[in-house]
Amino acid sequence: MGGVGKTALAQRLYNNDKVSNCFERRAWVCVSDVFYVLDITKTILGSITKEPCEDKDLDRLQTKLKDNLSRKKFLVVLDDVWNVKYEEWTSLLKPFEAGAKGSKIIITTRNNSIVCIKRVLSYSLNVLSEDNCTSMLAYHALRARNFEKHPNLERAGKRIAEKCKGLPLAAKMLGGLLHNRENPKEWEAILNNITWDKAIGKDGEVLPALKLSYSHLPSCLKRCFAYCAIFPKDYEFERDKLAFLWIAEGFLGEEKEKEPKSIANTTCFTSGDSQVVSTKEKARYASFVSHFVTSKSLRAYAQMKIGLIMLEAEKKKYHSPVFNILLFEDVES
């Protein structure tokens, strides 16, 4: 199921100061369903060197990457991986053997077959307990850990949390949708919405929450949100440039007189959930502040990303004691 928090967990690890201080080299790559060794290698090399990489020769790229990782302790995150081709994995991992002992690779995936490629052990992620899911909903809706100060909302809140099926993404989305809304009728309206009856398929548990969040966006933000569908998955754009595109399309109305930077920083986006620190952000991590509806939701309608697995590499298999591979996956229902 989608939305169980695999990428979020990887981000917490990646951005944690104590963790990052343990590594001399770090890189994050959004892979998705196209596993192209050349592009992944270029992205990793660019993240490590902080320089643009235009070389299209895989051998040269891997040599440069190997040189940059040589005797260095590294942390690399490969997010949203689907590929199960052994030869491509073998090719991708070659440069990492030059790193220092204790290096780590974290892979997020929804494909359990990846566990078998290198015969590694997996650790599964569970959904939230009902109490924790209720607490998360209350936090994002009311900035409280429970409904003690809002007893008139407790019944509807707990029932909405049940419908979230323990999925953090669903609880966060609906909490954002109900942010500072203290009218019980509004909570009941969300609880009784017919969208809940349309949950189908493997990712059906989270899709209603995403659809409800989108449906309650102001019309101007719906257009802005839908416009992001023109970008490929994991396409990296500049926020200010996207704001210019919205202005050109006439989506922002009275906002068009403002500076794009002002629009990006106050009206449309927040970078709080992104692992990208610069002014560039992945489309999938940009979020609409109005109702905390992330553009990750847009991907969900086509094919929801799912699954983190935490794996420890089998050293003999890699013929190297240098690095471990860490993978997280969610528990199959």
For 226-255, the pLDDT digits (tens) are 888 787 776 777 777 888 888 888 887 655
Structure confidence at residue 279 (pLDDT): 33
- Regarding whether 143 and 116 lie in a shared domain, the answer is no
Three-state SS at 72: coil
Say if residue 42's pLDDT is above 90: yes
Q: Please, which pLDDT band fits residue 330 given cuts at 50, 70 and 90?
A: low
Domain count, the chain: 3
Whether residue 234 lies inside any domain: the answer is yes
- Regarding whether 268 and 201 lie in a shared domain, the answer is no
Structure confidence at residue 134 (pLDDT): 96
Whether residue 198 lies inside any domain: the answer is yes
- Regarding whether 250 and 204 lie in a shared domain, the answer is no
| CB within 8 Å of 225: residues ≥ 6 apart | 214, 217, 288, 293, 295, 298
Least confident of 148-152, 167-171, 206-210: 206-210
Q: Which residue has the higher pLDDT, 148 or 180?
A: 148
State which of 153, 181, 215 marks the end of a domain. 215
Whether residue 304 lies inside any domain: the answer is no
Spell 102-122 as b/e; 16+ CB within 10 A means b: ebbbbbbbbbeebbebbebeb
**How many CB atoms within 10 Å of residue 333?**
9
State which of 163, 196, 215 marks the end of a domain. 215
- Regarding whether 106 and 27 lie in a shared domain, the answer is yes
Whether residue 32 lies inside any domain: the answer is yes
Mean pLDDT of the chain: 76
Mean pLDDT computed over 301-319: 33
Closest C-alpha among 225, 229, 193, 197 to residue 212: 193
- Regarding whether 262 and 231 lie in a shared domain, the answer is yes
CB 288 within 8 A of CB 174: no
Structure confidence at residue 255 (pLDDT): 54
Q: What is the CATH number of the domain that holds 31?
A: 3.40.50
Mean pLDDT computed over 280-301: 36
Say if residue 332's pLDDT is above 70: no
Domain of residue 157 covers 130-215
Least confident of 22-26, 55-59, 77-81, 313-317: 313-317
Is pTM, for the whole model, over 0.75?
no
Whether residue 295 lies inside any domain: the answer is no
| CB within 8 Å of 266: residues ≥ 6 apart | 289
- Regarding whether 55 and 39 lie in a shared domain, the answer is yes
Whether residue 77 lies inside any domain: the answer is yes
- Regarding whether 243 and 154 lie in a shared domain, the answer is no
